[in-house]
A and B are shown apart, each in its own frame.
Chain A
Amino acid sequence: MNAHAPETAFTLNGRPVSVVAEPFARLANVLRDQLGAIGTKIGCDAGDCGACTVLLDGRQVCACLVPLAQAAGAEVRTVEGLAENGALSAVQAAFLAHGAAQCGICTPGMLMAASDLLQREPKPSEAAVKDALGGVLCRCTGYRKIIEAVMDAHRFAGTTAGDVCAAPAKGRAVGAAMVRADGLAKVTGTDLFGADAAPSDALWLRALRSPHARARFTLGDLEAVQRRHPGVEAILTAADVPGENSFGIYPDLKDQPVFAEGFVRYRGEVVLALVGERAAVEAVPFDDDLVTWQPEDPVMGVVAALRNGAPAIHGNRPDNVLAEGRLEKGDVESALASAEALAVDELATAYVEHAYIEPEAGYAQRIGPNGARIEVAASTQAPYLDRDEVARVLGIDKSAVRIVPTACGGGFGGKLDVSVQPLLAVAAWVLKRPVRCVYSRIESMAASTKRHPARIKASAAAGRDGLLTAIRLEADFDTGAYASWGPTVADRVPVHGSGPYFVPNVFVHSQAIYTNGTPSGAFRGFGVPQAAILQESLYDDLAAQVGLDPLEFRLRNALRPGQPTATGQVLEHSAGLAQCLEALQPHWRRLRGEAEDQNRIGNGRTRRGVGIGCMWYGCGNTSLPNPSTMRITLDRAGRLTFFNGAVDIGQGSTTVLLQICADALGLETSAFEMVLGDTDRTADAGKTSASRQTFVSGKAAYLAGRDLRAKLLRLANVGDTAEIDLQGGTLRIGDGAQATDIDLAALPVEEGGETVLSGTGTFDPPTTPLDEKGQGNPYATYGFAAQIADLEVDMELGTIHLRRFVAAHDLGKAINPSLVEGQIHGGIAQGIGLALMEEFLPGRTENLHDYLIPTIGDVPPIDIILVEDPEHLGPYGAKGIGEPALIATAPAIFGAIRHATGVKVRKVPLLPHRLLQALRSKP
Chain B
Amino acid sequence: MYNFNYYRPLSLEEAAQVLSAASDGKLMSGGMTLIPTLKQRLANPSDLVDLSEIADLSGIEAKGDTVVIGATTTHAEVADSEVVKSQIPALAALAESIGDPQVRNRGTIGGSIANNDPAADYPAGLLGLGATIKTDRRQIPADDFFTGMFETALEEGEIVTAVSVPIPKKAAYAKFPNPASRYAIVGVMVAQGPAGTRVAVTGAGPGVFRVAKMETALEKNFSANAIEGISVPAKGLNADMHASADYRAHLVGVMARRAVTAAG
Stretch at the interface among A230-238, A454-462, A681-689, A845-853: A845-853
B133 to chain A, nearest CB (A): 24
- Bound complex: CA A59 to CA B246 (Å): 40
Residues of A within 8 A of B100 (CB): 50, 134-135
Given A59-B105, A135-B102, are A66 and B180 also a contact pair (CB < 8 Å)? Answer: no
- Bound complex: CA A22 to CA B38 (Å): 13
Given A66-B31, A916-B250, are A135 and B99 also a contact pair (CB < 8 Å)? Answer: yes
| Cβ contact within 8 Å between B105 and A65 | no
| Cβ contact within 8 Å between A855 and B179 | yes
- Bound complex: CA A852 to CA B240 (Å): 14
Number of A residues, CB within 8 Å of B: 50
Among B11-36, those with CB < 8 Å from A are 28, 31-32, 35-36
Instruction: Judge if B158 is at the interface, Cβ distance under 8 Å.
Output: no
Task: Among B8, B101, B103, B179, find the residue whose CB has the most chain A CB atoms closer than 10 A.
Answer: B101
Interface string of A4-24 (1 = CB under 8 A from B): 000000000000000000111
- Bound complex: CA A28 to CA B254 (Å): 41
Interface string of A824-865 (1 = CB under 8 A from B): 000000000000010101001100111111010010000000
Among B70-109, those with CB < 8 Å from A are 76, 99-103, 105-106
| Cβ contact within 8 Å between A25 and B6 | no
The interface residues of chain B, by DSSP majority, are classed as mixed
Residues of B within 8 A of A848 (CB): 180
Instruction: Judge if B225 is at the interface, Cβ distance under 8 Å.
Output: no
| Cβ contact within 8 Å between A913 and B247 | yes
Instruction: Judge if A221 is at the interface, Cβ distance under 8 Å.
Output: no
Task: Among B39, B105, B244, find the residue whose CB has the most chain A CB atoms closer than 10 A.
Answer: B105
- Bound complex: CA A545 to CA B223 (Å): 44
- Bound complex: CA A913 to CA B106 (Å): 32
- Bound complex: CA A47 to CA B102 (Å): 8
Residues of A within 8 A of B251 (CB): 797
Given A67-B31, A912-B247, A913-B243, are A135 and B50 also a contact pair (CB < 8 Å)? Answer: no
Interface string of B36-68 (1 = CB under 8 A from A): 101100000000101010000000000000000
| Cβ contact within 8 Å between B76 and A59 | yes
Which of A47, A69, A113, A855 is close to B103, meaning CB atoms less than 8 Å apart?
A47
Instruction: Judge if B152 is at the interface, Cβ distance under 8 Å.
Output: no
Interface string of B147-189 (1 = CB under 8 A from A): 0000000000000000000000000000010111100000000
Residues of B within 8 A of A47 (CB): 32, 36, 102-103
- Bound complex: CA A839 to CA B36 (Å): 24
Instruction: Judge if A195 is at the interface, Cβ distance under 8 Å.
Output: no
Given A848-B180, A849-B178, A855-B179, are A24 and B48 also a contact pair (CB < 8 Å)? Answer: yes
Closest to B250 in A: A916
Which of B35, B99, B242, B246 is close to A67, meaning CB atoms less than 8 Å apart?
B35
Instruction: Judge if A911 is at the interface, Cβ distance under 8 Å.
Output: yes
| Cβ contact within 8 Å between A279 and B101 | no
| Cβ contact within 8 Å between B106 and A48 | no
Residues of A within 8 A of B103 (CB): 47, 62, 135
- Bound complex: CA A798 to CA B89 (Å): 28
Among B205-264, those with CB < 8 Å from A are 241-244, 246-247, 250-251, 254
A917 to chain B, nearest CB (A): 8
| Cβ contact within 8 Å between A61 and B6 | no
Instruction: Judge if A26 is at the interface, Cβ distance under 8 Å.
Output: yes
- Bound complex: CA A796 to CA B4 (Å): 50
| Cβ contact within 8 Å between B180 and A48 | yes
| Cβ contact within 8 Å between B102 and A279 | no
- Bound complex: CA A858 to CA B1 (Å): 39
Closest to B105 in A: A59
Residues of B within 8 A of A66 (CB): 31, 35, 106
| Cβ contact within 8 Å between A135 and B101 | yes
Which of A72, A279, A852 is close to B1, meaning CB atoms less than 8 Å apart?
A279
| Cβ contact within 8 Å between A797 and B1 | no
Task: Among B28, B35, B38, B178, find the residue whose CB has the most chain A CB atoms closer than 10 A.
Answer: B35
Which of B32, B50, B180, B244 is close to A855, meaning CB atoms less than 8 Å apart?
B180
| Cβ contact within 8 Å between B48 and A65 | no
Residues of A within 8 A of B32 (CB): 47, 65
9 contacting pairs across A/B (C-beta < 8 A): A69-B8, A113-B102, A135-B99, A797-B176, A837-B179, A849-B181, A855-B180, A913-B243, A913-B244
The list of the 10 closest CB pairs from A to B, nearest first, reads A135-B100, A913-B247, A23-B6, A849-B181, A62-B102, A59-B105, A849-B180, A135-B102, A134-B100, A796-B254
